[in-house]
Amino acid sequence: MAASSDEHAPISDAARDAASQAAPEAGADEGDRGLRHGTTAYRRATLAMLCAGLATFNALYSTQAILPTFVSELGIDASTAALLVSAATGMLAVCIVPASILSERLGRGPVLITSAVLASLLGLLIPAFTDPAVLIALRGLQGAVIAGVPAVAMTWLSEEIDGRDLPRAMGLYIAGNTVGGLTGRLIPAGVLEFSTWRWAMLTAALWAVVMAAALWALLPRQRFFRPKEIHARSELRAMVGHWSNPRLALLFLTAFTGMGTFVSLYNFMGFRMIERFGLSEALVGAVFLMYLSGTWSSARAGSYASRFGKGPVMAVGAASMVVGVLLNGLPWLAATIAGLFVFTAGFFAMHSIASSWVGAIATENRAEASSMYLFCYYVGSSVIGWVSGFFFLRFGWSGLIAWLTLGSLLVTAVAVVLLVWQRRHPAEAA
């Protein structure tokens, strides 16, 4: 099954395995090798993958920064508004495995292009409706078709790029995911400063359409893909079977609770910024620049893990989430911004280590283990992100912070257990 990726995912062990299988032997004919850095085809491929991330993650998170506006304009509560994010991430989680299986039969390229184009075009429909139920349904459908990109993008790169140049290509794809997530929040928030939510969503959707069209135009034809039969039942059995490994189960729990806590804080941060601190919509959108601290921490987590071990880095990242959540409970803007910085950096450092650790622990069916981790990651985003709305509505910001503190503490407890295990079994944890 195809290896998966997400907004800040490091290069997984499953992707590296695929790369080693896809890369030809040193003595192979030059024409049979994967795409090399410096060639026109390589540039087209990496730019296409950059555009894939820009298109799909822009579409996935286009509603998050302006949830307070949906509450006021559509007459819904904050919990219902959160479904405009949760419906998309939840359906993405459900459809990642089917999209991956489909790509084994139809090819990675067709799934990538169809996913990005359909998701972007669906975004153009959102400004045409005001019925909350219809909007939530459209967002769910959008999340379902987005799933094709994170399901197969890494596998396309692993199969088509020469193994020696694969890390560079993966890095550019992940950068597109990060920037796509940022533009999905910043563009609507910026447009909302001088126009309506309809124009804000339309502008974000048009940007996604342009990026999807660029992906379609640039993506080279596949050369190394070979169709094969994949049975959904056996794939699902392999995924579920990984829960019998206690260490993998803990990492899956970390993905579910960690991402759920993370997306919940950002879902309702806009309400806090507007109601407590009186910021404008554009300034609320600028708060999402804190995501860059996650880009920084995830990029360095691997080197820190090499020096200190996976467990310590993951435990520090998880503990940073607790500190960040508690700082957000204070009534000062400076503390809130600092808390977001620490919280975001800690989450993505922890997630970077946890997602790569899955591949190290799973000695077989690694792609299925990575898919289960990513499934838990997005289900947590959807379910906890929605449930958190009830705490926010019933108990206000303090109640939400108490709820998210419990989530952060649970993630930290899991990380500490894994840290203790690593110290007792250092050879297995390498």
pLDDT in the model for residue 3: 42
Mean pLDDT value across residues 293-298: 83
Query: Comparing 282-286, 404-408, 418-422, which segment has the lowest mean pLDDT?
Result: 418-422
Q: What angle do CA 396, 399, 402 make, to 5 degrees?
A: 150
The per-residue pLDDT for 429 is 53
- pLDDT at position 207: 95
Six token digits for residue 272: 């806090």
d(CA 64, CA 188): 9
The predicted structure's pLDDT at residue 6: 54
Q: Which two tokens stand for residue 19?
A: 């790369």
Length of the chain counted residue by residue: 430
pLDDT of residue 187: 93
The better pLDDT of the pair 325, 158 is held by 325
Please name every residue paired with 35 in a beta bridge, in sequence order, or none if there are none: 161
- pTM above threshold 0.85: no
Cα Rg of the chain (Å, integer): 21
Is residue 172's pLDDT more than 80?
no
Nearest residue to 156 (alpha-carbon basis) of 3, 342, 311: 3
Indicate if the alpha-carbon torsion angle 143, 147, 149, 153 is positive or negative: positive
Q: Report pLDDT for 14.
A: 40
**What's the whole-number mean pLDDT along residues 157-185?**
79
Place of tokens 């088509």: 160
State the CB neighbour count (10 A cutoff) for residue 192. Answer: 24
Domain 232-430, CATH homologous superfamily name and number: MFS general substrate transporter like domains (1.20.1250.20)
Q: Alpha-carbon distance 393 to 406, whole Å?
A: 18
Contact 120, 59 (CB under 8 A): yes
Answer whether 124's CB lies under 8 Å from 421's CB.
no
How many whole angstroms separate alpha carbon 371 and alpha carbon 5?
A: 9
Binned at pLDDT 50, 70 and 90, residue 127 comes out as very high
> Tell me: the pLDDT tens digits for 90-102?
999 999 888 888 8
- Residue 243 CA to residue 251 CA, distance in Å, equals 10
Check: CATH 1.20.1250.20 for 1-230? yes
* Pairwise CA distance, residues 2 & 6, whole Å: 13
Lowest-pLDDT range of 89-93, 163-167, 370-374 = 163-167
pLDDT given at position 359: 74
| pLDDT score, position 411 | 87
**Fold matches, 1-230 and 232-430:** yes
Q: Domain limits of the chain? A: 1-230, 232-430
Residue-averaged pLDDT of the chain: 85
> For residue 402, what pLDDT band results from cuts at 50, 70 and 90?
very high
